[in-house]
Amino acid sequence: MEPQGPRGTITVARALALPALRKGLPEVVTGGDRLERPVRWVHAGESPNIAALLKGGELLLTTGLGVGARPAEQRAFVRGLAERDIAALVVELGSRFAALPAAVVDTARSYGLPLVQLHREVPFVAVTEEIHTELVNEHYALLRRADEVHARCTELLLGGGGVPEVLRLFADFTGNPAFLETADGRLLYAAGPTGRPGAADPLQVWDGLRDCGLAGTLTTDIPGRGPGPETVRARLTVPPVNTALAPVHRIAADRTAGLLAVVLLQARQEELAARGRGDFLRELAEGRVDPEEAPAQARVLGFRPGPGPLLPVVMRPAGGLAPPDGWAALACAVQEELAGAGVPVLLGVRLPEGSVPLLVGLRDEAERSPVADRVAAALRAGAARAAARRPV
């Protein structure tokens, strides 16, 4: 069986297993534990200064004519390649060397550079053509997978879905939580992959990583519209908390960003944030949030009540009809009215039920009735401002 690397890459091991190189009877001399390094390109050359022509990630084919005759020259040659971070050095024996010089082997070993010697002559042009064909085919496969995700996201949007549905699909595709945040870092919506028992809640992940970050996190800007140059409207962020991210995820994220940009131009960010809060409140009401984790998740969403009791409230416009100007207008109007109630409030929107759930923080039980009256008045005033039907 041929060695397999990560999806979307050609590794040194896989290149050595291809027919063109296999005919040369390749022998790995050093760096046998680093054969999963990705190969970006293949280059053949005999110049002593060939390192200056490379960018990194190359599989270099040579007969050794440019390696040099003296140990110092040989060490300098290999050191230059290692510092360029090439994928591997492949030397064909016979034309220049009957056996690899000790200086070449020792230097490659000290830098952890995969060094391969070919015991039979092979046409380098055949090797480069074969590996480059594999690279192109892999890139095409990546684009095809990214296209599939893009098509599924488009179908979701055409079927009436929005940002939450797209984020959930993307989270399932990457196997990691996906977040949409404003340009200044405020969370708009969080979605986690389905079918992963024991996986951390997305809000927990956001709270734990927003300050420290995580190596390998994928971040893609969502373009916006404004005066002057194009501005960043939001960001799609996917941290690799469950599984490593592959190149195809970056390609798919770039394409998904274009769809999200269109959606965000048509819907206010406040509505999206309110939908995220509404989802949390629904899960809280149904007992699907760990009570010990709920306070931290609520703080991520901006709710910081004191130690007193909580008052749950649900507002539903009469008839369950959406307000004339949409849920964003209603959420904003109600939120502004609630600011005068003098209590901490977490307000969400639930489109499936056509309702606005709230959680209100109280100082003590004696506040329940008067605060409930103030909240009810604020809800009625906000609904009237948004021209919604009289709420229940």
Write out pLDDT tens, residues 317-353. 766 555 655 676 777 778 778 887 788 999 888 888 8
Q: Are residues 252 and 343 in the same domain?
A: no
- Which of 122, 138, 164 terminates a domain? The answer is 122
Q: Would you say residue 232 lies in a domain?
A: yes
Q: Are residues 250 and 343 in the same domain?
A: no
Q: Are residues 156 and 251 in the same domain?
A: yes
What pLDDT, on a 0 to 100 scale, did the predictor assign at position 323?
Answer: 62
Out of 51-55, 225-229, 325-329, least confident range: 225-229
Residue 151's CATH number: 3.30.450.40
Q: Are residues 252 and 309 in the same domain?
A: no
Q: Are residues 241 and 320 in the same domain?
A: no
Return mean pLDDT, the chain. 85
Report how many domains make up the chain.
3
Out of 1-10, 41-50, 253-262, least confident range: 1-10
pLDDT of 2 > 60? The answer is: no
What pLDDT, on a 0 to 100 scale, did the predictor assign at position 3?
Answer: 38
Alpha helix locations (H) across the chain? 12-17, 19-22, 71-83, 102-111, 124-158, 163-174, 202-209, 247-266, 269-285, 294-300, 327-338, 368-385
pLDDT of 8 > 50? The answer is: no
The per-residue pLDDT for range 369-390, each reduced to its tens digit, is 999 998 888 888 887 776 656 6
Q: Are residues 116 and 158 in the same domain?
A: no
Provide the token pair at 106: 């020792």
Q: Would you say residue 141 lies in a domain?
A: no
pLDDT of 62 > 90? The answer is: yes
Q: Are residues 153 and 43 in the same domain?
A: no
- Which of 87, 122, 157 terminates a domain? The answer is 122
Structural domain containing residue 364: 301-385
Residue 318's CATH number: 3.30.1370
What pLDDT, on a 0 to 100 scale, did the predictor assign at position 229?
Answer: 44
Q: Would you say residue 27 lies in a domain?
A: yes
Amino acid at 225: R
- Which of 266, 289, 323 terminates a domain? The answer is 266
